[in-house]
Amino acid sequence: MASSIYADTKELLNETQASIRPEIDPTDAYPSQVPRKAGLLNDLCDLSDRYWIFEALCSLFAVITFIGLCILLQFLDGKPFGKHAPDGAIGHANLFAVITFLATVMKLAISVPLISGISQLKWSWYEEKRKLADLDSFDDASRGGVLAPLRLLFTVRFSHLAAIGSILVLFAIPMEAIIQSTINMPLRRFGNTEPFTIQGKGQITNETTVPRTSRFDLFRSTVSGPWPTTDMLNSIAWGNSDNTIPQPRVTVDCPTGYCQFGLYQSLGVSHICVDRSADMATNENRTAYALPAANLAVMNTVSKSNPKGLVTVRSSTSADQTSFPNIGPLLIRTSAIVNIWDDAPAALDCALFWSIHTYNGSVAPETGFSLREDRWHDFNSHSVSSNPDEDIVLIQDPSCWFSNRHVSNVDEPGLYDKVCKNTVSHNASLALQHFFLDEEEGFTGDISLYSENPRNQSRGNRFVTEMYDLGTWTNNTKLSQGEYFARFESRMASTARMMSQMIRQASTAEELNSKGTVYQMLYIYDIQWRRLAAPAVLLAASMAFAIAAALKAQRQFSFKRSNLPLVFLGLGQEERARVGEVSRVKDMRDWAGELHVQLGKGEDGMMRFVSRVVVQPEYDHHTVDDEPIECPYELEPIPRLPPLAKVV
């Protein structure tokens, strides 16, 4: 009896299991009646479908293409572009076409595993009951574009592995643009490797010079003694003029507009000014002021016998060491008391002296294509001449800068004697001192007031008059003592600078000029390597996505991109009968939006898109004649639905 019951139960279970799908296996229904074709090609195709070999090869090809692209970009990085580029430079615009081609090939290779993965995942999507219309979302997303992947994202609602594939498809769209954006082409300087010709400028070499000198010996001989040349007098007048007037610069030959001279040194004139107002002495009634250190005094009262001193300037060729410590050989010392304020006058003490200037010169568009020099003084130079009747010799020891390199007295003694030993001839220095001491043209003189009427004041020379006018330089408003000192020091600095420029450019010894490099401004390939991180991450993510989809396919159907399964599987008989004959795509979309199906065995025992739902409770264990039996499934079919309304 027990055996009969057990047999009946077994038969019932077998019938039940025939109509449900615990695991999708199309071979459970009927074995395929199509004979397999023999041959190596068919075997390879089968292996490729089952183990995703083609997708793996495409991923490998994408990796190789990306590596080749990086090698090409590495080769281009820092290289110039242009027809005037030096030898070995890259000057062909078709390189951009090559890079674009490689980026496109890489994108196509990446898209193969992405498309296969998304197409494969649509079969796992129907492990549960879904809208039949979702098939279109998967197929459209696998073809790329922008809207289709977004549509699939909203279809799966980010709850399925296919959502990752859709995101990767979206990120792959701008890949070519991202790779092309890694190439910047800024302008950079390149030294000329060989002469070339620029229209209108002749042949351009790779070297130019900037004026510098280590000797000054220019003067004019007059009846009264040595006198400065006209060029030097003009330079002094220009330097002591209104500071708002643009001053001329040292001229250099820079045909390309981009030259670099580096460090070099030249003989010149420097200045130093000290505000001595605190050192002035006055009497009890403040009717007179004196500057003992400079042997200057002015009256502070107005009378014909003792006029009020407004400006008193004196120059000398000597100065004690305490007044201006650590300066070079003195050219002139100029001291002044300016008494144009009601409260107290200002006392100024300045010196012009010979020194060695260190320059860092360049020519570029930001300097207006003119020479720009960062300059500083070298006070550590020393003079080897103590006799005032001899030439002044300044030595920069033990080396100096020339043509952007150190010239040592040990390694290059001959060149060192030429460029590092700076000489001022006795007559040239004496000529300048004669000018500064001259009462008619030099830095000495007085302006006095003889009555309360401002018109009743004496006249001074040009330098003294400009010192007086400097106090009322802005809108007839007197400057403060501090502002006056700053303006006066600025003019002395300008005078020293203009004198130095004249000394440098007056030299006729070409071998004393400092050499510089002529540059071309060329476009270069500047690779932004950080931007390549996005394609690299996309490549790795697409490979990982394809691997995940392939592993998931091992327990399903490995159909991938093929649409043949849709034909062979089709709808179940019940679902097909409900839909009826449909001849328009719009009608098919309407039916597919209403019909919920999943992959399972149909009424004919074949794998179909069916609308049945299988409920799988926990196993119930029973015994018959002390022998255990299992009832693993209970079938609860959905009641047969009425046909859907016919779509017109």
pLDDT in tens, 208-249: 889 999 999 999 998 888 999 999 999 999 988 866 555 667
Q: What is the mean pLDDT of the chain?
A: 77
Q: How many Cα atoms occupy the beta-carbon half-sphere of 101 within 13 Å?
A: 7
* pLDDT for 90 beyond 70: no
pTM of the entire structure? 0.61
Q: What token pair was written down for 257?
A: 């507009």
Average pLDDT of the segment spanning 540-552: 86
* pLDDT for 486 beyond 80: yes
pLDDT in tens, 590-632: 777 777 777 777 666 677 777 754 334 444 444 445 555 444 4
* pLDDT for 489 beyond 70: yes
Partnered with residue 335 across adjacent β-strands are: 314, 349
Where are the strands (E) in 224-258, listed by range?
225-227
Cβ pair 552, 245 in contact under 8 A: no
Average pLDDT of the segment spanning 447-470: 79
Higher per-residue confidence, 326 vs 232:
232
The closest of 355, 401, 400, 360 to 378, measured between CA atoms, is 355
Amino acid present at 530: R
Task: Say what the pLDDT of residue 81 is.
Answer: 76
- Give the lowest-confidence range in 97-101, 486-490, 555-559: 555-559
Task: Say what the pLDDT of residue 454 is.
Answer: 61
Q: What token pair was written down for 592?
A: 């597919």
Percent of the chain whose pLDDT exceeds 70: 74
Element (H, E) at 308: strand 308-316
Q: What token pair was written down for 319?
A: 């100065």
**151-155, long-range: CB < 8 A, 24+ apart:** 152/118
Residue found under tokens 């574009």? 145
* pLDDT for 510 beyond 90: no
Where are the strands (E) in 151-280, listed by range?
183-184, 187-191, 196-198, 202-204, 207-210, 215-216, 220-222, 225-227, 259-275
**Do you find a cis peptide bond into 398, omega within 30 degrees of 0?**
yes
Residue found under tokens 């568009």? 365
Task: Say what the pLDDT of residue 232 is.
Answer: 94
Q: DSSP class of residue 86?
A: P
* pLDDT for 495 beyond 90: yes
pLDDT in tens, 28-76: 444 555 555 556 666 566 666 677 888 889 999 999 999 999 998 998 8
Task: Say what the pLDDT of residue 167 is.
Answer: 84
Partnered with residue 336 across adjacent β-strands are: 313, 348
